[in-house]
């Protein structure tokens, strides 16, 4: 019955008509590929936020590369065109489906704290350093994980070398790309702090005009060095030495009034970095296998727990209001448990299996009433000893997490799939460009709890030596009897989890076409007194009815920027991306049609 339901829903999509819709130079830019939010075809597909990056990925697939080769090439290109969200100065998570073995594997490319860090990393003179001061500092920079992730992915599953995978991005950085409104806005919004660093100011200010060509020859040279010398150039070589020098002595403009604290990152911290292979999370939902990223990401466990909670209700038969109500309440409960139990598994005992048990989900689901709203923050449950409708301990509020990340999704002609999420944390990360290297450094260590979220309650996410901060990134791959059905992910900080959950339930339960599910108005409940919602969501009839039930909302411009791929019954692939968020995404197929 499930097979026919899923296949029927996917088959119906075949009849949907595809939707078509300063180093900056004043010279005319190369004509950029168009932004198209949906592409259907054979030979493989790519979905990312950027048309240049997606085109590079499709070119790799067309030349015989596999999904991993294309994913690394796309990610490197996003480091050029989307440098305020991703790049070799940051980290992320890589989820891979191998069509030959029918296995899902994951790589943990999360940044790590210096060996000198302890739980008082953000305490100064007995007081917590203000968040905004930590953001723009060397103190918030973790050891980048992205280059090592690319290397390990290519070595394990790819057919291209790192040299081959980085060449298109190097060429793109050297020849330049057309500046769009999002790129211009991101520079403009960060202009004040970018101006406080000589290297960042030289690269990005004044903000390049929309339609101009932006070139980054320093980044092109850095990619060339990585191509020639491998990632050891960063973890043990000249790029790494420049990175450490930048962190420990930030290139602050002498005229700047900003207090910029140095970090304590060392070359040994870089040399000791590893991107480990981790067991993926796995949850069963409506007969499907949903795979995600395990700790230190909370994406896999939190999405999985919420799906398990929703398993108790047949969402396909619920009214739109009751569907959204249950989606928000399941999110609320799973975030309470995430905040209490998930951290770096090398430092804390994360009860992954218990968090993903249906018994625990059932003990939480019974707290949901169809006619009332839970009061947040809700206290967590105990997954090791679940009791029906019980909570334990103190309330577990959700700390702030930066929203600027990027996600790409790729499938190839052989059926391999990659869901890869990358980040610098804040928009523009720490705001510090490594002089002469052309890339921004992350501020990922702000994802740690500065102090225990709830005084007196164990917090699994306090800083520690070599520790990885908890993440909300949720690259996800869904299988049906070992065959891919859907893969997706999103940026958005903590709202990544709710975004992925909303798209999954709309697509799998409600039968909403993938592009429409991605474009739908979003709301994000993260165990807070109010639910964050887009203005388009607040303008719906359902929002008014939810308010009557007791939901309270705060407005935000955008939540997430999803990219996804799905396998169609005839063997073709559909790539899908945003229609409007972040200016719209870019889907490409090798052989469209």
Catalytic center residues? 405
Find the helix or strand (DSSP H, E) in which 477 lies. Answer: strand 476-480
Find the helix or strand (DSSP H, E) in which 577 lies. Answer: strand 573-577
Cβ count within 10 A of residue 593: 9
How far is Cα 172 from Cα 567, in angstroms, rounded to an integer?
A: 30
How far is Cα 371 from Cα 545, in angstroms, rounded to an integer?
A: 11
β-partners of residue 524 are 532
Tell me phi and psi for residue 122, to 5 degrees. -110, 25
Distance, CA of 524 to chain centre:
15
Q: How many residues does the chain have?
A: 593
Among the listed residues 72, 137, 57, 93, the one whose alpha carbon sits nearest the alpha carbon of residue 491: 93
Please tell me what DSSP assigns to residue 143.
B
Please tell me what DSSP assigns to residue 129.
P
- In angstroms and rounded to an integer, the radius of gyration of the C-alpha atoms of the chain is 22
How far is Cα 283 from Cα 303, in angstroms, rounded to an integer?
A: 9
Please tell me what DSSP assigns to residue 566.
E
How far is Cα 568 from Cα 485, in angstroms, rounded to an integer?
A: 8
**Residues 6+ away with beta carbon under 8 Å from 431:** 135, 136, 190, 193, 194, 196, 197, 200, 440, 443
How far is Cα 11 from Cα 500, in angstroms, rounded to an integer?
A: 22
Please tell me what DSSP assigns to residue 374.
P
Check if the beta carbon of residue 104 is closer than 8 Å to that of residue 77.
no
């Amino acid at each position: 019955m499930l097979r026919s339901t899923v296949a029927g829903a996917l088959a119906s999509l075949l009849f949907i008509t595809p939707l078509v819709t300063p180093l900056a130079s004043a010279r005319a830019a190369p004509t950029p590929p168009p932004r198209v939010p949906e592409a259907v075809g054979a030979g493989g597909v790519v979905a990312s936020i950027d048309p240049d990056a997606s085109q590079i990925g499709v070119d790799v697939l067309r030349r015989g590369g596999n999904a991993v080769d294309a994913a690394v090439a796309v990610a490197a290109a996003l480091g050029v065109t989307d440098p305020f969200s991703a790049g070799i100065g940051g980290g992320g998570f890589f989820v891979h489906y191998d069509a030959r073995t029918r296995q899902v594997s994951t790589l943990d490319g999360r940044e790590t704290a210096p060996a000198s860090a302890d739980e008082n990393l953000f305490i100064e003179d007995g007081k917590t350093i203000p968040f905004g001061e930590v953001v723009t500092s060397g103190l918030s920079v973790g050891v980048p994980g992205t280059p090592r992730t690319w290397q390990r992915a290519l070595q394990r599953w790819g057919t291209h070398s790192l040299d081959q995978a980085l060449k298109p991005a190097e060429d793109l950085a050297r020849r330049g790309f057309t500046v769009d409104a999002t790129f211009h806005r991101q520079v403009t919004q960060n202009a004040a702090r970018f101006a406080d660093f000589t290297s960042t100011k030289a690269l990005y200010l004044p903000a390049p005009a929309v339609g101009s060509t932006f070139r980054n020859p320093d980044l092109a040279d850095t990619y060339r060095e990585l191509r020639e010398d491998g990632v050891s150039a960063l973890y043990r070589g000249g790029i790494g030495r420049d990175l450490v020098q930048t962190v420990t002595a930030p290139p602050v403009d002498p005229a700047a009034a900003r207090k910029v604290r140095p970090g304590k990152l060392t070359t040994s911290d870089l040399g000791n970095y590893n991107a480990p292979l981790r067991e993926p999370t796995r949850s069963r939902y409506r007969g499907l296998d949903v795979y995600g990223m395990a700790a230190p990401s909370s994406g896999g466990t939190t999405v999985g727990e919420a799906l398990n909670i929703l398993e108790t209700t047949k969402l396909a038969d619920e009214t739109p209001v009751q569907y959204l109500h249950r989606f928000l309440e399941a999110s609320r409960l799973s975030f309470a448990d995430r905040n209490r139990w998930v951290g770096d598994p090398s430092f804390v005992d994360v009860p992954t299996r218990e968090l993903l048990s249906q018994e625990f989900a059932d003990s939480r689901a019974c707290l949901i009433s169809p006619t009332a709203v839970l009061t947040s923050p809700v206290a967590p449950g105990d997954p090791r000893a679940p009791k029906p409708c019980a909570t334990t301990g103190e309330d577990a509020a959700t700390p702030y997490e930066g929203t600027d990340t990027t996600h790409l999704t790729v499938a190839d002609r052989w059926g391999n799939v990659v869901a890869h999420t990358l980040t610098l944390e804040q928009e523009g990360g720490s705001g510090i460009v490594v002089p002469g290297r052309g890339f921004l450094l992350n501020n990922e260590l702000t994802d740690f709890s500065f102090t225990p979220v709830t005084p007196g309650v164990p917090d699994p996410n306090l800083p520690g030596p070599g520790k990885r901060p908890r993440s909300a990134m949720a690259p996800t791959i869904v299988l049906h009897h070992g065959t891919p059905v859907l893969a997706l992910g999103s940026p958005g900080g903590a709202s990544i989890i709710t975004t992925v959950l909303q798209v999954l339930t709309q697509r799998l339960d409600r039968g909403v076409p993938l592009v429409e599910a991605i474009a739908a108005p979003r709301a994000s409940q993260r165990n807070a007194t109010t639910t964050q919602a887009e203005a388009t969501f607040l303008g719906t009839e359902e929002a008014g009815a939810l308010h009557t039930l007791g939901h309270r909302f705060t407005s935000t411009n955008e939540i997430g920027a999803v990219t996804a791929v799905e396998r169609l019954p005839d063997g073709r692939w559909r790539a899908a991306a945003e229609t409007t968020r972040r200016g719209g995404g870019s889907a490409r197929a090798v052989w469209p049609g």
